Structure 1
Amino acid sequence: MRYTLRQLEVFLACAHHENVSRAAASLSMSQSAASTALKEFEQQFELRLFERTGKRLRLNELGRQLWPRAEELLERARELEQTLAAHGDLGRLKIGATLTIGNYLAAAVMARYMAEQPGTRVELEVANTAAIADKVLGFELDLGLLEGELNHPDLEMIPWRDDELVVFCAPEHPLAEKERLTDRDLCSATWILREPGSGTRQTFERAVSGLLPKLHILLELQHTEAIKRAVEAGLGISCLSRVSLSDALRRGSLVELRVPQRDFRRVFHFVLHKQKYRSAGIERWLELCRQVS
């Protein structure tokens, strides 16, 4: 074999960081050692994988074609190493989840996954839909759990579970007494919403299609709990996933508002890079997610 796994690691680190120094630091190598490994890798096959602009490295077309294949090969090598060392340990996972899923659903899956494999490491990153998608595209995450919808040629969207958004207010709010809200009620209310780019905001805007320019949006917040506290304080009404509101609705600290003429249903999805190798750990995580749904 004319190349080494270490050379592939250096190539992938350079692809991720677009800089030899940062790539070397991520691999606990010296810059000279990383530069040498990358140079030897390219020279062995008489090819160039990067366009070099100063200290910045950008993958060329050949490099972009090699990237997912190198990721898969290294993932298989790590899986083999883990199997040899731990007799089938499912290994480390890097999971991305949007806010509602990360805060209210992912912890239960993590607990079950790690209970099956003591010592297994799971890294969970919580961000909005756009951020998670970017990191799955860059192979920085093994898979994502999304509330929003995406259409990208390199991403595979797999339906997971149904969800719905709920319009809600504080018990003392004037709208709390209404049996159902009209579109006029929605336009006259003061709103506290998730930020643009989030899956919840995406679903909300689709549901209120035609009304959005008329809505009075007082606040746009990134955190579900902050929105709930603001609504409880009487600052306005909002719309969030039923998953995130179940406890508050049961206690009566928040009140559901019926809007039957608007469709707030949606589907949570798994998102994976189409060329990402599905390790035993990834397959087990998907299975556990389906079990808790």
Structure 2
Amino acid sequence: MKFTLRQLEIFLAAAHHESISLAAQELSMSQSAASEALKTLESQFDIQLFDRPGKTLRLNELGRILRSQAEAMVEQARELELSFRQHSEIGHLKVGATLSIGNYLAVNILAQFMHEHPNAKVSLEVANTTAIAHQVRNYLLDIGLIEGDWNEPELDVIHWRRDELVVFCSAEHPLAEHGDLTDQDLVSVPWILRETGSGTRQTFERAMHGILPKLNIALELQHTEAIKRAVEANLGIGCLSKITLVEAFKRGNLVPLNVPHRHFNRDLSFILHKKKYRSAGLNNWLALCQRPEFH
């Protein structure tokens, strides 16, 4: 074999950071050693993996093609190393989740996973759907748990469970005792919504097809709790996942509104890179999520 796993690690770190100095820092080696190893890898096969404008690195087309194969090989090598050392087979699992899932579902799954695999190292990144998909696509996350639809050729989207959004208002709002809402009701009040790029916003906009341009969107907020507090303060009405509103409805400070002619159902899904090596930890996480208590 004419290349080493260390050379692949340097290539991948340089591709991620677009900087040989940052790649060397990540791998705890000198910049000159990292640079020499990368040059040796390229010269051994008479190829160029990066464009080098000035002092920067830019992954070229060949580099992008080979990156996913290198990622899979290095990941498998890490799994093999763990087995050789007789450590936990789970290793390090990097999970991403959208805000509603991350704050209301993923934490319980994470707790159960850590209980069953106490030697595992798991990190959880919480962001909106667009950000999670970006990180899965670039191998920064092993798996994403997202809301709504996502279509991208590099990613596999696997159905997980059903969810629905609920329109809601403060208990003191004039619509609280209104009964079924009409489209006229929906366009006559200010709305407080999640930001564009979130799965919740995507589902809301699809449900409001035909009247979306007429809606009065007063506030766009990134955090579910901030939206609930703003609605509770009577700044407008909101629309969030049912799983985020259970406790607020029990307390009675927020109340659901009926909009029977609009459809707010959606899927929660897993997203994975199609070329990502599916480690034991990743397969265990998927199996846990499919159990009845989480499904």
Distance 1:53 1:124 in 2: 35
The yes-or-no answer on 1:129 pairing with 2:126 is: no
Tell me the CA shift for residue 100 of structure 1. Answer: 0.3
Distance 1:223 1:199 in 2: 13
Instruction: Please tell me the residue identity of whatever aligns with 2:29.
Output: M
Distance 2:139 2:89 in 1: 22
Distance 1:89 1:66 in 2: 27
User: Structure 2: 5+ residue runs without aligned partners?
Assistant: none
Match of 2:74 in 1: 74
Q: Secondary structure at the match of 2:141?
A: coil
What is the CA deviation profile of residues 247-285 of structure 1, one whole-angstrom value per residue up to 9, with x for unaligned ones? 111221210001000000000110011100111111111
What is the total number of aligned residue pairs between the two structures?
293
Q: Is the 8 A contact 2:98 2:132 kept in 1?
A: yes
Distance 1:184 1:214 in 2: 10
Q: Is the 8 A contact 2:92 2:122 kept in 1?
A: yes
Match of 1:273 in 2: 273
Match of 2:12 in 1: 12
Q: Secondary structure at the match of 2:276?
A: coil
Moved more, 219-228 or 207-216: 207-216
Q: Secondary structure at the match of 1:168?
A: strand
Q: Is the 8 A contact 1:191 1:236 kept in 2?
A: yes
The 5-angstrom pairing of residues 135-284 of structure 1 reads 135-284=135-284
Distance 2:258 2:83 in 1: 53
What is the CA deviation profile of residues 73-129 of structure 1, one whole-angstrom value per residue up to 9, with x for unaligned ones? 111111111222235431111111110001001011111111112131111111111
Match of 2:109 in 1: 109
What is the CA deviation profile of residues 236-256 of structure 1, one whole-angstrom value per residue up to 9, with x for unaligned ones? 100000010011112212100
Distance 2:184 2:25 in 1: 57
Distance 1:262 1:94 in 2: 36
Distance 2:217 2:223 in 1: 16
Q: Is the 8 A contact 1:192 1:236 kept in 2?
A: yes
Q: Is the 8 A contact 2:89 2:280 kept in 1?
A: no
Tell me the CA shift for residue 152 of structure 1. Answer: 1.1
Deviation >6 Å, runs of 4+: none
Instruction: Please tell me the residue identity of whatever aligns with 2:133.
Output: A
Instruction: Output the TM-score relative to the length of structure 1.
Output: 0.98
Tell me the CA shift for residue 31 of structure 1. Answer: 1.0
Distance 1:148 1:58 in 2: 33
The yes-or-no answer on 1:3 pairing with 2:3 is: yes
Tell me the CA shift for residue 148 of structure 1. Answer: 3.0
Tell me the CA shift for residue 55 of structure 1. Answer: 2.0
Q: Secondary structure at the match of 2:76?
A: helix
Distance 1:114 1:218 in 2: 41
Q: Is the 8 A contact 1:89 1:117 kept in 2?
A: no
Moved more, 14-23 or 239-248: 14-23
Q: Is the 8 A contact 2:88 2:119 kept in 1?
A: no
The yes-or-no answer on 1:21 pairing with 2:21 is: yes
Distance 1:238 1:142 in 2: 32
Distance 2:85 2:244 in 1: 40
Distance 2:229 2:28 in 1: 44
Seq. identity, %: 62
Distance 1:55 1:110 in 2: 42
Moved more, 82-91 or 199-208: 82-91
Cα RMSD (Å) of the superposition?
1.0
Instruction: Please tell me the residue identity of whatever aligns with 1:209.
Output: H
Distance 1:135 1:87 in 2: 27
Q: 1:122 to 1:88 in 2, by over 3 A?
A: closer
Distance 2:220 2:193 in 1: 5
Q: Is the 8 A contact 2:150 2:157 kept in 1?
A: yes
What is the CA deviation profile of residues 35-61 of structure 1, one whole-angstrom value per residue up to 9, with x for unaligned ones? 011011111111111111112212222
Instruction: Output the TM-score relative to the length of structure 2.
Output: 0.97
